[in-house]
């Protein structure tokens, strides 16, 4: 689904922050992306999300060379990728329900076609009683779950989650991890960026370890 | 619930339940049909809120700026319209009359000359009336210079005939002048061309100055609206980015913002235009109240009636629509530029 070949990235004229990355994300796979803070996890996720262009190397998304993807094709590709941002990026003027429904709304779907899906998903992530609440009054963990629900609502082929457990306490982190595992079992390729080694030790999954811009893969 | 979650093997009712009962056999997840019912609609659920936030400080500031600029633009437009109308009225009044002057000579029979001149003038198509100023009227005309009790017959004063012209058809002044010169000794025809030409020049200059000021105000309005819109847009960059990342295409994002800012533009422009229109209506009423007084008559003679007329109000409406469209168009261009920068896969080393 995603293929990197000898990919390198530098910001401006600075040193390469990512060097010679060669790996593949297979369909229905589960992997952790880890490494110390500042190792380039977020940059790598942005490369996968096509919000950054590599300085060198080849990036293929869903079998297409990323450089050949036109702006008109990009929204369709983005719709196949669910993203959970480290800072959630919820729209503060929309309710929890509306934030989760947003991906479906921008696709032009009618409200009647997704209302049940959204409410059930919110109940499933434990926010059934918080549907009408605006994000500013949600706790960090609740915001995180809203962001996750928004990423999942349209059944993406790939889920990219940047430190999805970084703002929550350990019990909630484990809960969220189980959610991702459930999602993986349902057929979505999941890439979780985290530096929480303790959490990773509790779950058996492929590990992509970034260190000083280089990638090591532990199957 | 999306199908993908229903297909999860050993699904659960909620994530919390799943954690609490993870050591127990998991009951199947509820299907959508099972969950649809009154309990899922206890409170009204809808995505009615606008994707672009409406109640923002930047939005309110933009409305105020647009209202002020629309007011100034409409005010300038109205003043230019009034100047134009007043100048046209002056021109119309002056050009509706010409004067025949008969200078006295020793051997001239003045009454006969007046009759002849009147007859000649009335023979021309476009002349509706000829009036000779009688001795009393001439004396009254000269009263400011020569005082009262004047015996006008003792003075060698020229006699004047006012010739009233039809509004729609003008007589052939060249032929009329030639015939008067030939048949009435000492007669001359003053068609006020000098006055009309000067007035034309002055009115044209005033209208041009007014149009230049209007153009400047409109240009300032355009620039201020553009900058204010871009400023208000800057506060919505996060919204654009989120929409982009959840898969919205450029057209969707542009339409959402354009609709929102068109409403802001309409609100602001309508407020400013309404204020200007009310001001003109008020000034019109004020000038009509003073109609009966000498001061009112003087003001009316100089400035007309302060009445815009329907063309002026149509102009104000057009300015209103233009400003609203300009706001929406600026928004569309700004959003499209920003979205294109997000969509272009060339942002190495941001």
Closest CA to B70 of B235, B251, B205, B271: B271
Who contacts B46 (Cβ-Cβ below 8 Å, separation ≥6)?
A111
Over residues A98-117, mean pLDDT: 90
Measured between beta carbons, the chain B residues lying within 8 angstroms of A65 are none
Q: Which of residues 206-245 of B touch A (CB under 8 A)?
A: 238-239, 241-245
Q: CA-CA distance, A104 to A164, in Å (whole number)?
A: 22
pLDDT of residue B9: 31
Burial B208-234 (b: 16+ CB within 10 A, else e): eebeeebeebbeebbebbbebbbebbe
The range of the structural domain enclosing residue A112 comes to 91-153
Q: CA-CA distance, B14 to B309, in Å (whole number)?
A: 69
Q: Would you say B258 and B280 are in contact if contact means Cβ atoms under 8 Å apart?
A: no
B23 to chain A, any CB pair closer than 8 A? The answer is no
| Predicted confidence (pLDDT) per residue in A110-132, tens digit | 888 899 999 998 988 888 889 99
- Pairwise CB contact (< 8 Å): A78 & B245: yes
Q: Does residue A209 lie in a domain region?
A: no
Closest CA to B73 of B255, B223, B297: B223
| ipTM reported for the complex, 2 dp | 0.88
Over residues A89-116, mean pLDDT: 91
| Predicted confidence (pLDDT) per residue in A39-72, tens digit | 888 889 999 988 888 999 999 999 889 888 888 8
β-strands A2-10, A16-25: how paired? Answer: antiparallel
Q: Would you say A150 and A96 are in contact if contact means Cβ atoms under 8 Å apart?
A: no
Length of chain B in terms of residues written: 350
- Pairwise CB contact (< 8 Å): B45 & A115: yes
pLDDT of residue A7: 93
- Pairwise CB contact (< 8 Å): B51 & A91: yes
Q: What is the pTM of this model?
A: 0.69
Over residues A82-108, mean pLDDT: 91
pLDDT of residue A157: 92
Number of domains in chain A: 1
Measured between beta carbons, the chain B residues lying within 8 angstroms of A179 are 15
pLDDT of residue B46: 61
Closest CA to A148 of A129, A170, A171, A168: A168
For residue B125, what are the CA distances in angstroms to A138, B94, B287?
Answer: 89, 19, 38
- pLDDT band per the 50, 70, 90 thresholds, residue A3: very high
Q: In terms of CA atoms, which chain A residue is nearest residue B38? A: A116
Over residues A15-32, mean pLDDT: 91
Distance from the B236 Cα atom to the nearest Cα atom in chain A, whole angstroms: 10
Q: CA-CA distance, B322 to B310, in Å (whole number)?
A: 18
Q: Which of A75, A105, A175 sits opposite B47 (nearest CB)?
A: A105
DSSP 3-state assignment of A195? coil
pLDDT of residue B7: 42
Q: CA-CA distance, B189 to B126, in Å (whole number)?
A: 15
pLDDT at A10 over 60: yes
B1 to chain A, any CB pair closer than 8 A? The answer is yes
Domain ranges in chain B are 57-92+197-342, 104-185
Q: Would you say A169 and B19 are in contact if contact means Cβ atoms under 8 Å apart?
A: no
Q: Does residue A97 lie in a domain region?
A: yes
Please count the other Cβ atoms lying within 10 Å of the Cβ belonging to residue B241. 17
Q: Which of A12, A71, A174 sits opposite B349 (nearest CB)?
A: A12
Q: Does residue A95 lie in a domain region?
A: yes
Distance from the B232 Cα atom to the nearest Cα atom in chain A, whole angstroms: 16
Who contacts B343 (Cβ-Cβ below 8 Å, separation ≥6)?
A71, A74, B244, B250
pLDDT of residue B29: 37
Question: Which parts of chain B sit beneath pLDDT 50?
Answer: 1-2, 4-13, 15-43, 348-350
pLDDT of residue B6: 43
What is the maximum span of chain B, computed from C-alpha positions, in angstroms?
137
Q: Does residue A99 lie in a domain region?
A: yes
| Predicted confidence (pLDDT) per residue in A125-172, tens digit | 888 889 999 999 998 888 988 999 999 898 899 999 988 887 677 877
Q: Would you say A16 and A191 are in contact if contact means Cβ atoms under 8 Å apart?
A: no
pLDDT of residue B174: 86
| Predicted confidence (pLDDT) per residue in B249-285, tens digit | 888 888 888 888 888 889 999 999 999 999 988 888 8
Greater confidence, B306 or A202?
Answer: A202
pLDDT of residue A160: 93
Q: Does residue A113 lie in a domain region?
A: yes
Q: How far is CA B277 from the centre of its chain?
A: 9
For residue B345, what are the CA distances in angstroms to A2, A59, A156?
Answer: 16, 12, 21
- pLDDT band per the 50, 70, 90 thresholds, residue A209: very high
């Amino acid at each position: 689904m995603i293929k990197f070949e000898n990919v390198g990235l530098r910001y401006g004229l600075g040193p390469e922050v990512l060097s010679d990355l060669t790996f593949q994300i297979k369909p229905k796979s589960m992997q952790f992306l880890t490494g110390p803070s500042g190792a380039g996890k977020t940059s790598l996720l942005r490369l996968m999300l096509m919000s950054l262009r590599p300085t060198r190397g080849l990036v293929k998304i869903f079998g297409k060379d990323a450089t050949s993807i036109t702006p008109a094709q990009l929204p369709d590709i983005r719709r196949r990728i669910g993203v959970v941002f480290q800072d959630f990026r919820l729209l503060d003027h929309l309710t929890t329900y509306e934030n989760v429904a947003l991906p479906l709304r921008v696709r032009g779907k009618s409200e009647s076609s997704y209302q049940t899906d959204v409410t059930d998903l919110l109940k499933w992530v434990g926010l059934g009683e918080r549907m009408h609440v605006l994000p500013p009054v949600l706790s960090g963990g609740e915001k995180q779950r809203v962001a996750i629900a928004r990423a999942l609502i349209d059944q993406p082929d790939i889920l990219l989650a940047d430190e999805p457990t970084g703002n929550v306490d350990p019990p909630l982190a484990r809960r969220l991890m189980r959610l991702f595992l459930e999602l993986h079992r349902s057929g979505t390729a999941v890439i979780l960026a985290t530096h929480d080694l303790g959490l990773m030790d509790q779950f058996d999954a492929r590990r992509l370890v970034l260190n000083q811009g280089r990638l090591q893969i532990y199957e | 619930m999306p199908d993908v979650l229903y297909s999860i093997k050993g699904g659960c009712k909620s994530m919390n339940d799943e954690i609490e009962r993870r050591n127990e056999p998991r009951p199947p997840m509820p299907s959508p049909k099972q969950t649809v019912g009154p309990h899922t609609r206890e409170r009204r659920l809808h995505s009615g809120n606008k994707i672009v936030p409406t109640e923002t400080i930047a939005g309110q500031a933009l409305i105020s700026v647009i209202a002020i600029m629309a007011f100034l633009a409409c005010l300038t437009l109205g003043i230019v319209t009034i100047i134009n109308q007043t100048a046209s009225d002056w021109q119309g009044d002056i050009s509706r009359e010409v004067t025949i002057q008969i200078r006295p000579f020793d051997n001239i029979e003045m009454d006969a000359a007046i009759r002849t001149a009147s007859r000649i003038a009335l023979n021309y198509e476009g002349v509706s009336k000829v009036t000779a100023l009688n001795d009393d009227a001439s004396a009254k005309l000269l009263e400011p210079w020569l005082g009262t009790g004047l015996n006008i017959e003792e003075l060698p004063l020229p006699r004047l005939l006012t010739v009233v012209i039809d509004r729609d058809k003008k007589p052939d002044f060249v032929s009329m002048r030639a015939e008067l010169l030939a048949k009435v000794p000492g007669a001359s025809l003053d068609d006020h061309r000098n006055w009309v030409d000067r007035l034309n020049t002055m009115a044209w200059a005033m209208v041009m100055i007014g149009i230049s000021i209007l153009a400047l105000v409109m240009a300032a309005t355009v620039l201020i609206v553009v900058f204010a819109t871009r400023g208000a847009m800057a506060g919505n960059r996060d919204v654009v980015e989120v929409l982009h990342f959840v898969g919205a295409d450029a057209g969707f994002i542009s339409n959402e913002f354009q609709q929102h800012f068109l409403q802001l533009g309409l609100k602001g422009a309508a407020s400013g235009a309404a204020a200007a229109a009310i001001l003109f209506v008020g000034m019109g009423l004020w000038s009509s109240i003073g109609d009966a007084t000498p001061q009112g008559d003087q003001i009316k003679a100089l400035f007309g009636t302060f009445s815009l007329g329907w063309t002026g109000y149509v102009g104000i409406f057009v300015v209103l629509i233009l400003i609203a469209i300009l706001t929406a168009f600026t928004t569309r261009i700004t959003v499209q530029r920003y979205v294109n920068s997000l969509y272009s896969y060339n942002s190495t080393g941001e």
